[in-house]
Amino acid sequence: MRFYLWWSLLVVLGSGAAAWGLTEPATTLDVRTEPSGGVRATATLLIPVAPQLMQAVLTDYERWPELFDTPMTVTHLDRRVGGSVTDLFIKHSFLPGGRRLLCDNQELPDGLVSTLRGGDFKQYVRTWKVAQDGSHGGTRASFELLVEVDTWAPDWLVAFELRRQLERHFRLLRETLMARAGSQRFGYGSGKVNSASSICSNPCLTSPSMSKPRSIFLM
């Protein structure tokens, strides 16, 4: 009976993807379950904007919820030298009642590392590394996430959903970065990269995107 329930949910998720018909250009995206528990995702993204702009968007903590389709709230933000502490409340069908995610965020010269500090997740480590991409004149970004959440769903189903979320997340990131780069190019606003302006989300991914997801995790 339990297997039938999971299989039915998988079919529904897959059919939703076809209905939305999302596709991504793509570099790489790999999502797999971990033998010790949890799910690991890695990706490489190529985006035609300056690394400084992407870094500014990644550290625009107040606007993180805009990077995802899921209801998400920044309940507390403590900015510190070299980073911040963020306290998020996230809602999803996999997370009855919602879940809290408390993270330390360390800002690096070339990226951002977020590690679990408290809340309702068992594991959470997210790393972004950004660098100038010489061959394309933009940014080459590497992404890695290890996440394990207290949920009824098995890891294989979490992995399936996480892939969909990341595809959507990366597409939104690209759209936001391109929009902000365009506004700077044409002189809208000060032209100065401000870590508290518009948000980010979406690069290129090889795997075809699925349906418009409700995000469980902060990417």
The model's pLDDT over 124-175, given as tens digits with 9 standing for 90+, comes to 999 999 999 877 679 999 999 999 988 888 999 999 999 998 998 898 889 9
Residue 121: CB partners within 8 Å, gap ≥ 6?
99, 101, 147, 148, 149, 150
Residue 55 near residue 130 (C-beta atoms within 8 A): yes
- Is the domain spanning 20-185 CATH 3.30.530.20? The answer is yes
pLDDT score recorded for residue 27 = 74
Is this model's pTM higher than 0.85 or not? no
| % residues pLDDT > 90 (the chain) | 50
Residue environment code for 145-164, b if the CB has 16+ CB neighbours within 10 A, otherwise e: bbbbbebebebebbbbbbbb
pLDDT score recorded for residue 12 = 38
Q: Is the pLDDT of residue 107 over 50?
A: yes
Q: Is the pLDDT of residue 112 over 90?
A: yes
Q: Please, is 165 exposed, middle or buried when counting C-beta atoms within 10 Å of its C-beta (0-12, 13-18, 19+)?
A: buried
pLDDT score recorded for residue 134 = 77
pLDDT score recorded for residue 150 = 83
Domain boundaries, the chain: 20-185
pLDDT score recorded for residue 198 = 35
